[in-house]
């Protein structure tokens, strides 16, 4: 079986987790602090705050910029359902706009029309690791005084050419960036998330909220030479990352450069192998973006059945996934108003397929995927009726 994804873990991660278990400090503590510092240095940002997962990161980011009951957040429906769930958990309303014509990210040209007096933020998603057009998004946001939150769940290690140079996603070209370390992502801590920002006030709120609103951290209290009693000035949440997870994350950060390089090489090979194949459109990487290729998404000719292709590949032991979900079509969010057409989003969901891609993938595996994909596409083509012969009387 060729899986859709596979995390790259080894003895180093196992040893780091074991050492942390034996240290006696398992919950949020010194390993988390070191992971945050190393992550911040990696992406080039002042503040990084570790949390339990990316969904909780999104929740805190939205709260920090003032999203509350009745607030509108402009975003895409073409994303994992957590994006909209976090907005609604704040009492806000997602305002769904469509994706770009030649990709799978938010269409910057559609944002301005969605802005109302109730707009509180723009939530853009770096879908499947491909950076959004942050320069265009930021220009609209600044013109209307709106903060930008980047859902970078899939985008650790991706880069963007902006402000005259290349920089990593996470440097907070908007206001706040949220990452995921789920096993489906490029690096993993099992579960886990991270918020990055250049705003010290945002960072202070994240640290307060993630630990029940507690005024003094466990580490500070443990290290103190005098008795300290914590207070709870605000209502908070239990959104902490454990030291076991952070210890694994620190080892994963050491692998990131090699993982991304391998994924980019595999993506280039896919594109070369699929070039010119009738009925299959490979993904496009803009000149100003360097994707980590968290997923490789192909688009099928609408006449070719998506499910039929996926089923045929599954029968040959190859896992795939359909195009990114559309949240407005899920029962959980059918009550959200839809003031704008979402034609491109729906088309992408119904005609795109994610192919297997992971750093341990061999050339033989990739050749097998492409061979079986082409066979499946040919088998799923509609049968053409033979031409009718003219009747000569």
Who's near 373: CB < 8 A, 6+ residues apart?
274, 280, 298, 309, 313, 318, 355
Q: Is 341 exposed, middle or buried (0-12, 13-18, 19+ CB in 10 A)?
A: exposed
Please give the C-alpha separations between residue 35 and each of 32, 57, 173, 175, in angstroms, as whole numbers.
Answer: 5, 16, 21, 21
CA-to-CA distance for 54 and 71, rounded, in angstroms? 21
- Name which of 81, 56, 2 is nearest 178 in CA terms: 56
**Is the separation of the CB atoms in 253 and 353 below 8 Å?**
no
- Name which of 277, 60, 38 is nearest 151 in CA terms: 60
**Catalytic residue IDs:** 185
What one-character-per-residue DSSP string does 13-59 give? HHHHHHHHHHHT--SSSHHHHHHHHHHHHHHT-SEEEEES-HHHHHH
Find the helix or strand (DSSP H, E) in which 375 lies: helix 363-380
Find the helix or strand (DSSP H, E) in which 137 lies: helix 134-144
- Output helix, strand, coil percentages for the chain, rounded to the nearest 5: 40, 15, 45
Place of tokens 């359902």: 81
Name the DSSP class of 325.
P
- Name which of 37, 123, 21 is nearest 80 in CA terms: 123
Other residues' Cβ atoms within 10 Å of the Cβ of residue 245: 25
**How far from the centroid of its chain's Cα atoms is residue 361's Cα?**
21
Using CA atoms of 306, 311, 312, 315 in order, give the dihedral in degrees to the nearest 10: 160
């Amino acid at each position: 079986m060729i899986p859709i994804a596979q995390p790259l873990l080894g003895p180093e991660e196992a040893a780091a987790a074991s050492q942390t278990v034996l240290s006696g400090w398992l919950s949020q503590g010194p390993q988390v602090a070191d992971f945050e510092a190393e992550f911040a240095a990696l992406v080039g940002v002042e503040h990084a705050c570790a949390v339990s997962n990316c969904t909780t990161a999104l929740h805190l980011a939205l709260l920090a910029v003032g999203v509350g009951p009745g607030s509108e957040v402009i975003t895409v429906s073409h994303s994992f359902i957590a994006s909209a769930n976090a907005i609604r958990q704040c009492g806000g309303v997602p305002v769904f706009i469509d994706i770009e014509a030649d990709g799978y990210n938010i269409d910057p040209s559609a944002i301005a029309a969605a802005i109302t007096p109730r707009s509180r933020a723009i939530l853009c998603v770096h879908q499947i690791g491909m950076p959004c057009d942050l320069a265009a998004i930021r220009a609209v946001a600044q013109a209307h005084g709106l903060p930008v939150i980047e859902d970078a769940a899939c985008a650790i290690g991706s880069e963007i050419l902006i402000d005259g140079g290349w920089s990593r996603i996470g440097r907070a070209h908007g206001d706040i960036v949220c990452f995921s370390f789920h096993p489906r992502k490029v690096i993993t801590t099992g579960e886990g998330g991270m918020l990055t920002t250049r705003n010290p006030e945002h960072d202070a709120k994240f640290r307060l909220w993630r630990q029940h609103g507690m005024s003094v951290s466990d580490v500070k209290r443990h290290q103190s030479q005098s008795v300290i009693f914590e207070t709870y000035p605000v209502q908070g949440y239990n959104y902490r990352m454990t030291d076991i997870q952070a210890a694994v994350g620190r080892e994963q950060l050491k692998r990131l450069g090699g993982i991304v390089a391998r994924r980019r090489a595999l993506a280039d090979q896919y594109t070369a192998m699929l070039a010119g194949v009738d009925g299959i459109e490979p993904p496009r990487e803009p000149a100003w973006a360097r994707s980590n290729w968290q997923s490789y998404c192909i688009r099928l000719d609408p006449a070719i059945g998506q499910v039929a292709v996926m089923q045929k590949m599954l029968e040959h032991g190859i896992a795939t996934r359909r195009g990114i979900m559309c949240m407005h079509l899920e029962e959980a969010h059918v009550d959200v108003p839809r003031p704008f057409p979402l034609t491109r989003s729906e088309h992408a969901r119904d005609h795109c397929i994610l192919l297997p891609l992971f750093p341990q993938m061999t050339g033989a595996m990739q050749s097998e995927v492409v061979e079986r994909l082409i066979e499946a596409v040919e088998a799923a083509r509609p049968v053409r009726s033979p031409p009718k012969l003219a009747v000569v009387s």
